[in-house]
């Protein structure tokens, strides 16, 4: 029996957290079914919020389990920096390998590279969520003269939509949804300006953001002119179970982000039959989305026009493109791990 340590201590937000919640319980079950012992370490075990403190406590936590590990799977960009067990590293954050220089200072990248580079060096295999991320990771490795390891692409999955039911009607309102964490590269300003343009065209457009008001103001240059507008809803961070309600109660998903590793919410919106207006970046093109319009990330008039076109397009339907599920992702990863342990 082999011992697999799954290090998810650094998977705390966004797609990394969704991956951990959806895949790791299934992965643990698959590996256990093949007779392997699984030790799962998650971010719930470290409650301190400071990044440096979390990194130190994470390494201390891993050091307790590394000596007896036959393989360590690191889910969140950071490997165990001590011990000699073979390691696989999931590189899931595009901001570390390729941050937009206009938004993030050099110090932002340096602090994260201080952990990523030794983690890459210590790992025998790198796993990324998209072909675009593979290219960015290889470019990063060449720049820092890191020998490129076995590099696998393991895309995210998508949960099947809840049982079909009629989309909630908005009585003439056009309801836009942008589910995103509060970070500058999410580019909220352009969509807020686009909504203001549409409302000046006498369209009753409403926008829902999955963050708090203060997070929005802290991560964008946009500011309300005459008090908080009635058309803008900041509902705070949403757990996955509440996202179903948001997808079913909105008409169009808008996604103006300028830096993404995969773009999971785009696939989820597609599965729920929403129209999509997204930034024209490599990740969105790779997904080959249906019912999607891709737009320049900085042109608010183009965003307004694209949203208006989507609003007048025929209603979309589910189906037509089969996407991999989270169960398929877990099974593929488990098969790769079992093959490695049997070598």
Q: CATH number of the domain that 301 lies in?
A: 3.40.50.2000
pTM of the model: 0.91
297-327 pLDDT per residue, tens: 999 999 999 999 999 876 554 444 678 899 9
Q: What is the pLDDT of residue 52?
A: 67
What pLDDT digit, counting tens, does each position of 142-151 carry? 999 999 999 9
What pLDDT is stored for residue 242 in this prediction? 85
Mean pLDDT of 127-135: 97
Residues 11 and 151 in one domain: yes
Is 164 within a domain? no
- The model's pLDDT over 163-217, given as tens digits with 9 standing for 90+, comes to 554 455 456 789 999 999 898 999 999 999 999 999 999 999 999 999 999 999 8
User: What DSSP element (H or E) covers 106?
Assistant: helix 106-122
Are 181 and 94 part of one and the same domain?
Answer: no
Mean pLDDT calculated for residue range 218-247: 87
pLDDT in tens, 323-343: 889 999 999 999 999 999 987
Asked if residue 336 and residue 298 are part of one domain, the reply reads no
Q: Give dist(CA 79, CA 58) in Å, integer.
A: 10
Query: What DSSP assignment string belongs to 147-168?
Result: PP-EEEE-----PPPSSP-PPP
Domain count, the chain: 2
Task: Give Cβ neighbours of residue 238 (< 8 Å, ≥ 6 apart).
Answer: 179, 210, 246
Q: Is the pLDDT of residue 12 over 50?
A: yes
């Amino acid at each position: 029996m082999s011992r697999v340590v799954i290090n998810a201590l650094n998977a705390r937000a966004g797609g990394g957290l969704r991956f951990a919640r959806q895949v790791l319980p299934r992965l643990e079950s698959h590996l256990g079914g093949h007779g392997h012992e699984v030790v799962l370490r998650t971010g719930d075990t470290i409650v301190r919020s400071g990044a440096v403190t979390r990194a130190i406590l994470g390494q201390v936590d891993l050091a307790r389990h590394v000596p007896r590990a036959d393989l360590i799977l690191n889910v969140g960009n950071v490997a165990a920096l001590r011990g000699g067990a073979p390691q696989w590293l999931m590189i899931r954050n595009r901001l570390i390998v390729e941050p937009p220089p206009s938004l993030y200072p050099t110090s932002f990248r340096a602090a994260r590279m201080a952990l990523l580079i030794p983690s890459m060096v210590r790992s025998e295999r790198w796993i990324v969520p998209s072909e675009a991320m593979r290219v960015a990771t290889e470019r990063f490795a060449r720049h820092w003269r890191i020998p490129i390891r076995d590099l696998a692409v393991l895309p995210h999955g998508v949960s099947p939509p809840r049982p079909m039911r009629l989309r909630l009607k908005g009585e003439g309102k056009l309801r836009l949804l942008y589910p995103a964490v509060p970070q500058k590269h999410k580019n909220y300003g352009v969509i807020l300006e686009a909504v203001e343009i549409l409302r000046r065209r006498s369209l009753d457009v409403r926008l829902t953001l999955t963050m708090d008001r203060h997070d929005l103001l802290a991560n964008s240059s946009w500011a309300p002119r005459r008090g908080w507008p009635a058309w803008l809803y900041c509902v705070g961070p949403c757990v996955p179970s509440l996202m179903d309600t948001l997808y079913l109660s909105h008409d169009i998903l808008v996604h103006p982000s300028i830096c993404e590793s995969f773009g999971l919410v785009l696939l989820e919106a597609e599965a729920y039959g929403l129209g999509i207006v997204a930034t024209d970046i490599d990740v969105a093109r790779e997904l080959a989305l249906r019912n999607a319009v891709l737009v320049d990330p900085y042109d608010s008039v183009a965003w307004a026009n694209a949203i208006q076109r989507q609003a007048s397009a025929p209603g979309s339907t589910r189906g037509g493109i089969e996407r991999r599920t989270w169960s398929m992702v877990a099974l593929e990863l488990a098969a790769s791990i079992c093959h490695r342990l049997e070598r």
